[in-house]
Chains A and B, each alone.
Chain A
Amino acid sequence: MSENHDIAVIGGGIMGCAAALRLASGGMAPIVLDRGDLGQGASGVNAGTLSLQIKRVRLMPYALKGHEEWARMGDAVGFRRTGGYTLAFTEREAELLTERQTLKAEAGAPIEFVTNNQILTAEPNLTRRVLAASYCREDGYANSSLTGQYYRGRLREASVPYRERCAVTSITRDTQGFVLHTGGPAIKARRILLAAGAWLKPVAAMLGVDLPVDARINTVSVTERMPPLLTTVIGHATGLLTMKQKGNGTILIGGGWQGRGTPQEGRGEVTADSLIPNLSLAQFALPELGQARVLRSWTGFEANVPDFYPLAGELPGVPDAFVLGCVRGGYTIGPYIGRLMGEFILGHSPEMPVFDPGRDFEKDAT
């Protein structure tokens, strides 16, 4: 017995689920498959930062749209628009901050430079050693661990079937389209969307396509509940720190410090060699953090291609196959670019351009 669907989405993260929902609202019958649980990969283990100050300049229009999507999802995903500060502690960092945030402001993000006084009034617990800082009122966070719960609910509402713990082991073609082989019954679909995040490379290889996908292994840590210490999202000029205090008092610390491992081997591992400088930088910015105990540190795989721009379009050389992933700032942009991808597959002309997965990745795409 096998099932027939208009499109099978491989990967039940934010992008796969958002695309499936748009496809369903456009009249297609999708199915979502995930090798684990929905939203438990990068979508569910990232630090949840929604900051325009750490988005790439060319992706800013997508990030602005992404923020609108998160605001709409609201409480169900723990969305908070708190505003956010990006800090520089040295001359070199101050230059970097000025140069980068100016370009991001020109790209449409409401970013302004602020004085030390403004910062100390807003966030009195931060270190006095801030040399320069920028502020963006649009910044905030959502609770990434609610991703699975949220999209499970949305898919159920939209009557979109999903299968968890359903790894696709091989893909063949028949006259109708694709046959997806899993541990259970095969799944048939006329079209296919690969949205498998850091696992895109092995999944595309099942269709004979070599996508140059690599994965970063980002570390995130959380402390026990603390008295109020922060009200906004804190970043660093280099992008190597994100920090926020959640409503329950816990403090979440990220910044893309690299753990160890590969998606093929399973989960990544936290390594003390990067965790310790990550926490040191956080404590430098917020001295009272030293009193907090770290309860958990973990890693998530962030997929990328060599030019660090998204894959969003047709899978080269395979008709009716599409690919979506490798979005820098994918948590923020994911819900929006997922929707765009749905429109693209439906044959509508998307609101903003998608990103051809067949491009030359070695060329600077800016």
Chain B
Amino acid sequence: MLIDEQGQAGGQVWRAKDRSILSAPATPESRSGDNLRERLAASGVRQMTDTRVWQIERQGEHWVIHTLRNGAAGRLHSRAVILATGAREEAQPVRGWTTPGVIGLAGATALFKQSIRLPGRASVVAGAGPLVFFVASEIRRLGGTVAAVVTPNTRADWLARLPSMVARPDLLWRGGRWVADLMLAGVPIYWGHAVKSVSGDDQVTGVTLCRLAADGTPLPGDIGIAADSVCLGGGLAPSTEAAQLAGVAIRYRPELGGWVSEAELDGSTAREGLFLAGDGCGIRGAVAAELHGQIVARTALRHIGQASASDPALERAYRRASRFGEAMTVLSALRADPIGLATPDTIVCRCESLTRRTIEVEIESGAVSSNAVKSGQRAGMGPCGGKYCQSSVARLIALHENRALSEIAPPTPRPPIRPVPVSALAGDFDYDDLPMPKPAPL
């Protein structure tokens, strides 16, 4: 059984087109995605789409997966579970980043792939690694204007990654073409720069850029650029919450995107019958993820007693793709500082509108763990569950305490993994059927 939150399988990278845009030209992503979806349909794998998993529990010899679909809760029992929860995009809090017209880089790709919508008429595209160039070239391909590409990476950063990138010349070639297209079109590319602030009240009117020092601190000399939209990426981080709720520990691996679920190469974890595949156990990119899925499926098959030999050629291909993907993740970590560009009055937790200063005051008062800041100020208690603010909060604690980021664990994840309406859980019930335990002692 394949369970997916989207209406069609494909995830972020191989996201299916919405019905209204089926006639749009194919892209490498849509072709790969359609190919996978066709194979999936032919395979006889049962699919539950538009389904959210809100809790995973171990019961005896089974895993119980609690789902939510069409407003109704359900549960599945399974001997083996593969979690392929992918990545989430980190926020980069700068003054004005919550202004309407600012979206994430990953969010922008979802707009293109699903509905060919553009973020605006003239966009500044900012972030690290290859994603920023992909988003910028897609905007141009779809007829939009890229006012500027802004990336903390320098050309030297990219050159230094070449040896790892030649492991996948096809991907290297494709990335090179995005950059070449942008340069030919005269789109300004600001290497070694970052968006320092976004202006506009109800709608973005422009951004201010600055150059970054080698350690990521902003250098003087601001550059203003007019734009009505900004795609602002803060790098990708593994989605670990579901695995954590199922009892898998996390470890800090900045070269793999931050806090990463602990799993072996073959996907096995410390929990019996629970396997992890893809970016959730380290950001290595879509190509590596597909190969990893095949490796982990073999492990899961062996777990349920079906013969499935490991495939050395597959593992070699995975290692090659990983080398490429890991080099890209390292690029994203260069000169990256989640709060390096946040002023004291910049909002860090957008669910609760908490500024950097508010969080710093809480830390100074002795709240020196992510959980303590969450308890004291509600940073991470809103609908996003801390996904937007946890890296910034951890960084502020690390700075104040002079401790390494690896010592500042993110806040404890809690179920539901996604918000669930009470009515969906309660369903229709007869009051007399509620399993009421014995009342408390008098």
- From 104 to 151 in chain A, residues with beta carbon under 8 angstroms from any chain B beta carbon are 129, 145-149
The answer to whether A96 and B439 have CB atoms under 8 Å apart is yes
The answer to whether A328 and B442 have CB atoms under 8 Å apart is no
The answer to whether A308 and B441 have CB atoms under 8 Å apart is yes
Whether, in the assembled complex, A75 has its beta carbon less than 8 Å from a beta carbon of chain B, the answer is no
| Complex Cα–Cα for A209 and B20 (A) | 71
The answer to whether B375 and A296 have CB atoms under 8 Å apart is no
Whether, in the assembled complex, B57 has its beta carbon less than 8 Å from a beta carbon of chain A, the answer is yes
Whether, in the assembled complex, A98 has its beta carbon less than 8 Å from a beta carbon of chain B, the answer is no
- From 216 to 273 in chain A, residues with beta carbon under 8 angstroms from any chain B beta carbon are 222-224, 237-240, 256-258, 260, 267, 269-272
Whether, in the assembled complex, B21 has its beta carbon less than 8 Å from a beta carbon of chain A, the answer is no
Whether, in the assembled complex, B224 has its beta carbon less than 8 Å from a beta carbon of chain A, the answer is no
Query: Closest approach, in angstroms, between the C-beta of B277 and any C-beta of chain A?
Result: 24
- Which of A18-26, A184-192, A275-283 forms contacts with chain B? A275-283
Whether, in the assembled complex, B312 has its beta carbon less than 8 Å from a beta carbon of chain A, the answer is no
The answer to whether A269 and B441 have CB atoms under 8 Å apart is no
- Cβ contact of A239, chosen from B427, B431, B439, cutoff 8 A: B439
| Complex Cα–Cα for A277 and B371 (A) | 28
| Complex Cα–Cα for A292 and B406 (A) | 36
Interface string of A136-171 (1 = CB under 8 A from B): 000000000111110011001000000011000000
Chain A residues lying within 8 Å of B419, measured Cβ to Cβ, are: 224, 293-295
Contact A37-B414, Cβ < 8 Å, known A103-B442, A148-B375, A281-B434: no
Chain B residues lying within 8 Å of A271, measured Cβ to Cβ, are: 57
The answer to whether A240 and B442 have CB atoms under 8 Å apart is no
| Complex Cα–Cα for A296 and B417 (A) | 8
The answer to whether B425 and A276 have CB atoms under 8 Å apart is yes
Chain A residues lying within 8 Å of B369, measured Cβ to Cβ, are: 36-37, 164-165
| Complex Cα–Cα for A224 and B437 (A) | 28
- Cβ contact of A282, chosen from B57, B64, B422, B439, cutoff 8 A: B422
| Complex Cα–Cα for A283 and B329 (A) | 46
Question: Which single residue of chain B is at the shortest CB-CB distance from A104?
Answer: B442
Question: Which single residue of chain A is at the shortest CB-CB distance from B55?
Answer: A272
Chain A residues lying within 8 Å of B436, measured Cβ to Cβ, are: 238, 240, 277, 281
The answer to whether B420 and A293 have CB atoms under 8 Å apart is yes
Chain A residues lying within 8 Å of B245, measured Cβ to Cβ, are: 269
- Cβ contact of A279, chosen from B362, B366, B412, B426, cutoff 8 A: B426
The answer to whether B425 and A294 have CB atoms under 8 Å apart is yes
Question: Which single residue of chain A is at the shortest CB-CB distance from B421?
Answer: A293
| Complex Cα–Cα for A90 and B245 (A) | 37
The answer to whether A272 and B64 have CB atoms under 8 Å apart is yes
Chain A residues lying within 8 Å of B441, measured Cβ to Cβ, are: 56, 308, 328
Chain A residues lying within 8 Å of B425, measured Cβ to Cβ, are: 272, 275-276, 279-280, 294
The answer to whether B439 and A37 have CB atoms under 8 Å apart is no
Chain A residues lying within 8 Å of B374, measured Cβ to Cβ, are: 145
The answer to whether A295 and B383 have CB atoms under 8 Å apart is yes
- Cβ contact of B365, chosen from A145, A149, A240, cutoff 8 A: A149
The answer to whether A277 and B434 have CB atoms under 8 Å apart is yes
- From 279 to 328 in chain A, residues with beta carbon under 8 angstroms from any chain B beta carbon are 279-284, 289-298, 308, 328
The answer to whether A283 and B415 have CB atoms under 8 Å apart is no
Contact A240-B420, Cβ < 8 Å, known A272-B66, A284-B431: no
Query: Closest approach, in angstroms, between the C-beta of A329 and any C-beta of chain B?
Result: 10
Whether, in the assembled complex, B225 has its beta carbon less than 8 Å from a beta carbon of chain A, the answer is no
- Cβ contact of A240, chosen from B412, B422, B437, cutoff 8 A: B437
The answer to whether A145 and B376 have CB atoms under 8 Å apart is yes
Question: Which single residue of chain A is at the shortest CB-CB distance from B369?
Answer: A37
Query: Closest approach, in angstroms, between the C-beta of B393 and any C-beta of chain A?
Result: 14
Whether, in the assembled complex, B416 has its beta carbon less than 8 Å from a beta carbon of chain A, the answer is yes
| Complex Cα–Cα for A334 and B374 (A) | 23
Whether, in the assembled complex, B297 has its beta carbon less than 8 Å from a beta carbon of chain A, the answer is no
Question: Which single residue of chain A is at the shortest CB-CB distance from B435?
Answer: A277
| Complex Cα–Cα for A272 and B64 (A) | 10
- From 376 to 398 in chain B, residues with beta carbon under 8 angstroms from any chain A beta carbon are 376, 378, 381-383, 385
Question: Which single residue of chain A is at the shortest CB-CB distance from B362?
Answer: A149
Interface string of B352-379 (1 = CB under 8 A from A): 0000000000100111110110111010
Whether, in the assembled complex, A44 has its beta carbon less than 8 Å from a beta carbon of chain B, the answer is yes
Chain B residues lying within 8 Å of A281, measured Cβ to Cβ, are: 434, 436
- Cβ contact of B420, chosen from A37, A57, A289, A294, cutoff 8 A: A294
| Complex Cα–Cα for A257 and B440 (A) | 11
Question: Which single residue of chain A is at the shortest CB-CB distance from B413?
Answer: A296
Query: Closest approach, in angstroms, between the C-beta of B9 and any C-beta of chain A?
Result: 25
The answer to whether A280 and B368 have CB atoms under 8 Å apart is no
Whether, in the assembled complex, A8 has its beta carbon less than 8 Å from a beta carbon of chain B, the answer is no
Query: Closest approach, in angstroms, between the C-beta of B384 and any C-beta of chain A?
Result: 10
Q: In the complex, which of the residues B422, B425, B431 has the most CB atoms of chain A within 10 Å of its own CB atom? A: B422
The answer to whether B442 and A296 have CB atoms under 8 Å apart is no
Whether, in the assembled complex, B75 has its beta carbon less than 8 Å from a beta carbon of chain A, the answer is yes
- Cβ contact of B376, chosen from A149, A165, A269, cutoff 8 A: A149
Query: Closest approach, in angstroms, between the C-beta of B406 and any C-beta of chain A?
Result: 14
The answer to whether A297 and B414 have CB atoms under 8 Å apart is yes
| Complex Cα–Cα for A264 and B334 (A) | 40
Q: In the complex, which of the residues A36, A272, A279 has the most CB atoms of chain B within 10 Å of its own CB atom? A: A272
Chain A residues lying within 8 Å of B381, measured Cβ to Cβ, are: 145, 222, 295-296
Whether, in the assembled complex, B423 has its beta carbon less than 8 Å from a beta carbon of chain A, the answer is yes
- From 242 to 295 in chain B, residues with beta carbon under 8 angstroms from any chain A beta carbon are 245
Query: Closest approach, in angstroms, between the C-beta of B28 and any C-beta of chain A?
Result: 37
| Complex Cα–Cα for A279 and B434 (A) | 11
Q: In the complex, which of the residues B73, B374, B437 has the most CB atoms of chain A within 10 Å of its own CB atom? A: B437
Question: Which single residue of chain B is at the shortest CB-CB distance from A260?
Answer: B57
| Complex Cα–Cα for A290 and B425 (A) | 9
Query: Closest approach, in angstroms, between the C-beta of B274 and any C-beta of chain A?
Result: 14
Question: Which single residue of chain B is at the shortest CB-CB distance from A96?
Answer: B439
The answer to whether A40 and B442 have CB atoms under 8 Å apart is no
Chosen A-B contacts, 10 in total, with CB atoms closer than 8 Å, are: A37-B369, A37-B371, A100-B442, A145-B375, A147-B375, A257-B437, A277-B434, A279-B425, A293-B383, A328-B440
Nearest 4 A/B pairs, CB to CB: A290-B423, A293-B419, A149-B376, A145-B375
Binding site for A on B (CB under 8 A): 55, 57, 64, 66, 73, 75, 245, 362, 365-369, 371-372, 374-376, 378, 381-383, 385, 412, 414-416, 419-423, 425-427, 429, 431-432, 434-437, 439-442
Query: What 9 new A-B contacts, CB under 8 Å, besides A152-B366, A293-B422, A295-B383?
Result: A90-B431, A145-B376, A149-B375, A156-B366, A269-B245, A272-B64, A280-B425, A284-B426, A295-B381
Binding site for B on A (CB under 8 A): 36-40, 44, 54, 56-57, 89-90, 96, 100, 103, 129, 145-149, 152-153, 156, 164-165, 222-224, 237-240, 256-258, 260, 267, 269-272, 275-277, 279-284, 289-298, 308, 328
